[in-house]
Amino acid sequence: MAEPTPAHASVPSKLPEVVRFNKVTKAFGAGANAKVAIQDVSFVVHDLPDAGELIAIVGPSGCGKSTLLRIIAGLRPHFPATSGETHVFGKPIEQPGSDRGMVDQKYSLMPHLTVAENIAFGLKLRGVGGKERRDRAHDWAQKVGLDGAEDKYPSELSGGMQQRVSIASTLILEPKILLMDEPFGALDPKIRMQMQELLVRLWREQQSTVFLVTHSMEEAIYLGDRVMRMAAKPGRLVEELQLPRPDEPPEVMRKRPWFNELTQELLQRLETDAPPAGELPGLEKWQRHA
Ligand SMILES: Nc1ncnc2c1ncn2[C@@H]1O[C@H](COP(=O)(O)OP(=O)(O)OP(=O)(O)O)[C@@H](O)[C@H]1O
Ligand SMILES: [Mg+2]
């Protein structure tokens, strides 16, 4: 079977692999009624020394972004794939695991538990004792800017605060792979930028590999080390683009002309389902600037 091309040409292939998809197809239903969600998707994410990669996934509605994420997470009905190989850390994916954590747009908080209890919930399931749970939940509430809100219930929180609880409750478990499905979709632009910065900070601390599905080209370019562009009908991976890491806050970077050039080009490629078109123009200016 053909080897998927490593996304980083410069990455020595002997580095351990975090995720490998090889010709992965997922169809829902069978026979004439089968609906192909993704077709022949291949990519590799390596375990870079001291730096988890952030992969932004973009593409039109229905191109299979959530399907791809949920296969990595081992979540049904998307998992298992209909054909192809799906590996994490060199082993076939068999089920959800503590090495992977998912944050989605729905927040999935437990309404009858306080902020602190929600944040600590996964620790409780893992048998971590009460005192340690409370201490760690308190640390995480601070990290995501929720100190003072620890005894509140989800219904008393704004959307942005609920999303922080959701992120903290996933990150507290220190997953090596963080899967985020449009996590900031429901937030207003200002809170959204704050959350982007928070995510960059936390991710640098944890050095996990992050897959982030987003409909915002700016977010993909700002946050992504790599952008996976997908297209629909059938859902497929069209191209992978490498990007530098942000060295400025999002509100500063988004005003730079080259940043605009990059986002416009990516948007254009996405809207026209353009075939693989190589590096984004504007990238050199960013690199020169950095
Ligand atoms: N449980 C399911 N049963 C049948 N078909 C499904 C199921 N989940 C997804 N699909 C189909 O698979 C395709 C890909 O869906 P998916 O949710 O992965 O797309 P997406 O890129 O995440 O879209 P969006 O941007 O709207 O969230 C769609 O055509 C969808 O209708
Ligand atoms: Mg989706």
CATH number, position 11 = 3.40.50.300
pLDDT at position 41 is 98
Is there a domain that residue 232 lies in? yes
pLDDT at position 289 is 66
Domain identity same for 93 and 183: yes
| pLDDT tens, position by position, 63-84 | 999 999 999 999 999 999 999 9
Domain identity same for 182 and 169: no
Q: Of 150, 151, 146, 23, which is closest to residue 84 (Cα–Cα)?
A: 23
Is there a domain that residue 276 lies in? no
Of all protein residues, the one whose alpha carbon is nearest to atom 12 of ligand 1 is 37
Is there a domain that residue 254 lies in? no
192 SS3 class = helix
pLDDT at position 106 is 75
User: How much distance in Å is there from the Cα of 290 to the middle of ligand 1?
Assistant: 38
Ligand nearest to the CA of 39: 1
pLDDT at position 10 is 53
Domain identity same for 159 and 89: no
State what percent of residues in the chain have pLDDT above 90.
63
Domain identity same for 112 and 190: no
Decide: 67 in ligand 1 pocket, CB within 6 A: yes
Boundary of a domain, candidates 117, 143, 174: 174
Sign of dihedral through CA atoms 151, 156, 162, 166?
A: positive
User: How much distance in Å is there from the Cα of 275 to the middle of ligand 1?
Assistant: 22
Domain identity same for 143 and 200: no
Instruction: Write a three-state SS string for 121-169.
Output: HHHHHCCCCHHHHHHHHHHHHHHCCCCCCCCCCHHHCCHHHHHHHHHHH
What average pLDDT score do residues 108-129 get?
Answer: 94
Domain identity same for 185 and 74: yes
pLDDT at position 113 is 97
| pLDDT tens, position by position, 188-209 | 788 778 888 888 778 888 888 9
Is there a domain that residue 271 lies in? no
Domain identity same for 157 and 114: yes
Is there a domain that residue 199 lies in? yes
Is there a domain that residue 32 lies in? yes
Residue 58 has pLDDT above 80, yes or no: yes
Domain identity same for 141 and 73: no
In contact, 229 and 34? CB cutoff 8 Å = no
Residue 285 has pLDDT above 80, yes or no: no
pLDDT at position 50 is 75
- Domain range for 115 is 107-174
Residue 183 has pLDDT above 90, yes or no: no
User: How much distance in Å is there from the Cα of 177 to the middle of ligand 2?
Assistant: 18
pLDDT level of residue 134 (50, 70, 90 thresholds): very high
Is there a domain that residue 93 lies in? yes
Ligand nearest to the CA of 60: 1
Domain identity same for 16 and 69: yes
Mean pLDDT of the chain: 89
pLDDT at position 53 is 92
Boundary of a domain, candidates 121, 155, 174: 174
Domain identity same for 151 and 205: no
Partners of residue 209 on adjacent β-strands = 177
Decide: 64 in ligand 1 pocket, CB within 6 A: yes
> pLDDT: is 144 or 42 the higher one?
42
pLDDT level of residue 13 (50, 70, 90 thresholds): low
Query: Strand order in 83-88's β-sheet?
Result: 35-46, 17-28, 83-88, 91-92
Is there a domain that residue 122 lies in? yes
What's the whole-model pTM score? 0.90
Decide: 28 in ligand 1 pocket, CB within 6 A: yes
Boundary of a domain, candidates 174, 190, 222: 174
pLDDT level of residue 6 (50, 70, 90 thresholds): very low
Residue 7 has pLDDT above 90, yes or no: no
> pLDDT: is 180 or 3 the higher one?
180
pLDDT at position 18 is 96
Give the DSSP letter of residue 218. Answer: H
Q: Which of 25, 35, 71, 75 to mutate to test the pocket of ligand 1 (most atoms within 8 A of CB)?
A: 35
pLDDT at position 4 is 43
Give the count of domains, the chain. 2
| pLDDT tens, position by position, 234-283 | 999 999 999 988 788 888 888 988 899 999 999 999 999 999 998 888 77
Domain identity same for 153 and 16: no
Q: Which residues contact 44 (CB under 8 A, 6 or more apart)?
A: 4, 6, 7, 17, 19, 20, 21
pLDDT at position 271 is 93
CB atoms within 10 A of CB 245: 13
> pLDDT: is 127 or 7 the higher one?
127
Domain identity same for 4 and 143: no
